[in-house]
Amino acid sequence: MRASPPPFDPAAAPPAPDYAGPANWASLPSIRDDGDMTPKGVPEPPQLRAPVDVFFIHSDVPLRSAVWNADTRDVWFNGDVGQTTIRNQASAFNGCCAIYAPRYRQANPAFTSGDGSGAFDLAYSDILRAFREFRRRVGDRPFIVAGHGGGARLGRLLIEREIDGQPIAARMVAAYLIGDPLPLDWFDARGTVRHCAGESDTGCVVAWSIRIEGTKPSANRAACNNPLSWTTGPALAPRTAHRGAWMRNGYEFPEPLRAPDAGLITARCGADGMLYVSPPGEPHASRMAPGGSNGALDYQLVYMDLRHNAAARVAAFLARR
């Protein structure tokens, strides 16, 4: 039985991470780490020569104890569990960009009571401080904001409070807020940030959440970009458009690195804004959650498609400048 959470008390939270040094960064361009990972056959690009930076916010990972927020000093949290999101998701951006991914006191995904807002606010306070340190380090260089799941939700808040309508918005190549349904009407309240409509749009937000075909549609209306075609409409993108799925670990593959698996899926944006994909087959199908929600594969199933688009969007941004 899952342990009940204690009442949320910010005074009992783990100490705030210090972002001045490297200890509280899961990935930095100056250090060889999981953000440098590439699929078999894909050369590892030198991040230190990249013209654009990525601020990547990892998704919620399971915590071992009944606490509201993770302790960034926890070796288990920082180790194989925490780094999985860097290997399998953040690394998709190393073909175009230098990756900065902070460790932060993420809210416990096992707790969903009313006190959860306090835990989320605490997590955001870390992301805000990390983002300001990121800005101090990169100066006036162009940047991408990216996140998955809970990290995408924090990225949304960061855009609302720190980027939209501010001079810094002119330097945002794009935001990839994946795996947390983004209400389409969220853009109605934005001053400068809009929903990306095409594959080379800049200064905008890309969003999708994968569902398997046949899943019952939701009642919501979310923003959807089809990563096989980079359109937002209902047209089906064929398997021939799929550049490739890839996942560094989590599957029991015999080789240390696997080449991308291309041509596995079709994809379309549903009327509810979910991204509906055809069954990809094994070994990917075994990672799909019951009910058709596939948060574990929001990045991984279209890893090469995302990798290619991030590079193309960066090129378009730099050409316009």
Q: What is the pTM of this model?
A: 0.94
Which CATH number, 2.60.120, 3.40.50, 3.30.70, 1.10.3470, labels domain 10-210+303-320? 3.40.50
pLDDT tens, the chain, 321 aa long? 455 667 888 888 899 999 999 999 999 999 999 999 999 999 888 889 999 999 999 998 888 878 888 999 988 787 755 688 899 999 999 999 999 999 999 988 877 666 678 899 999 999 999 999 999 999 999 999 999 999 999 999 999 999 999 999 999 999 999 999 999 999 999 999 999 999 999 999 999 999 999 988 988 899 999 999 999 999 999 999 999 999 875 444 445 578 899 999 999 999 999 999 999 887 776 666 655 455 678 999 999 999 999 999 999 999 998
Q: Quick one: tokens of 245?
A: 């799925």
Contact 277, 265 (CB under 8 A): yes
Cross-strand bridge partners of residue 98 = 53
What CA–CA distance (Å, rounded) separates 25 from 37? 16
Backbone angles phi, psi at 277, to 5 degrees: -120, 150
What CA–CA distance (Å, rounded) separates 272 from 57? 25
Of the candidates 163, 144, 135, which has an alpha carbon nearest to the alpha carbon of residue 206? Answer: 144
Structural domain boundaries of the chain? Answer: 10-210+303-320
What CA–CA distance (Å, rounded) separates 136 from 302? 32
Of the candidates 132, 74, 71, 65, which has an alpha carbon nearest to the alpha carbon of residue 104? Answer: 71
Cis peptide before 234 (omega within 30 of 0): no
Q: Quick one: tokens of 60?
A: 């919620």
Pairing assessment for the beta strands 210-212 and 194-195 based on DSSP bridges: unpaired
